[in-house]
Amino acid sequence: MELQQVAQPERSIVQDEQKRADRVEITFYTDPLCCWSWAFEPMWRRLQYHFRDQIYFKYVMTGLLPSWKNYSDPLYSVSRPQQMGPVWLEVSESTGMPTQSKIWVEDPPSSSYPACIAFKSMQLQSEAAAIKYLRMMREALMLHGKNIAKQAVLIEIAERLTSKYSTLLSLQRFVSDLTDSAGLEAFRLDWQETQNRNITRTPTLIMRAHGKQANMITGYRPYAALLAAIKQISPLIEPIVKAIDLDDYKRFWGNLTDREIREII
């Protein structure tokens, strides 16, 4: 998708309230290092393409991995980097989304906090840019085995994005927000929200619609489950795009994995 400027055309308060009442709002709790969030991308992208501006979403960074000194995942029996590789391999084999599982032996990320802070640093300039940046971090990690816990890698990814949208984004500001307190403080708010809501697994989506009880989905789910969850809180909602043209889908998203293409054909 093309990067949109933050500023939107002025609308009346009545129009804004009506649009908010008609749409589904999704809070997406995730982490750049989460392999299950990466595996969820084919269905999540399909949903966004189908419903466009009928859904509004925001990402909340959970900080999955503070450090290996105080990390333990009893569900997968993971407490050190080398044990994460087999989990990624299993996820790749079971879902079809590629991963570079060897990174956990060759150059294991020490924490997911730097990538979370980098996302928030980009978000301080543009929500749309942050969404693109999150995808670019995931591709760097999952497809190319880049260690996104390293500041130099995070800045290199940001440089590619900001150079493409140089009139809208500033690499200098990104680096400043990444290295001083601005990005950290923004991430701290996300982390606190995660703790307050007791979010322990990612991806977790909380869906809301006007006058309806919120609906929570946790973990990897097929597209049918996503669609059912949205219909549950917004029964009359219908996709803007019903039939997907592959060429248009490629233009809309840009980079696509084979698994993401298989999701819509």
- Exposure on the CB side of residue 150, measured as CA atoms within 13 A: 12
- Token reading at 185: 């403080």
Beta-strand relationship, 204-208 and 215-218? antiparallel
Question: What pLDDT, on the 0 to 100 scale, is given for residue 20?
Answer: 54
DSSP 8-state symbol, 102: T
Instruction: Identify the pLDDT of residue 5.
Output: 38
The pair of structure tokens assigned to 257 is 């994995």
pTM higher than 0.75 for the full model?
A: yes
CATH architecture of 23-262: 3-Layer(aba) Sandwich (3.40)
Longest Cα–Cα distance in the chain: 55
- Would residue 142 be called left, alpha or beta, if left means φ above 0 and alpha means ψ between -120 and 50 degrees? alpha
DSSP-assigned states of every residue in 11-43: --HHHHHHHHHHSEEEEEEE-TT-HHHHHTHHH
**Residue 7, Cβ density class (10 Å: 0-12 exposed, 13-18 middle, ≥19 buried):** exposed
Domain parsing of the chain, residue ranges: 23-262
Query: Residue 254: what pLDDT?
Result: 95
* Residuewise pLDDT in 10s, the chain (265 residues): 556 433 333 333 333 444 555 689 999 999 999 999 999 999 999 999 999 999 999 999 999 999 999 899 998 999 999 999 999 999 999 999 999 999 999 999 999 999 999 999 999 999 999 999 999 999 999 999 999 999 999 999 999 999 999 999 999 999 999 999 999 999 999 999 999 999 999 999 999 998 889 999 999 999 999 999 999 999 999 999 989 999 999 999 999 999 999 999 9
From 26, 44, 95, 27, select the one nearest 223 (Cα to Cα).
Answer: 44
DSSP state of 244: P
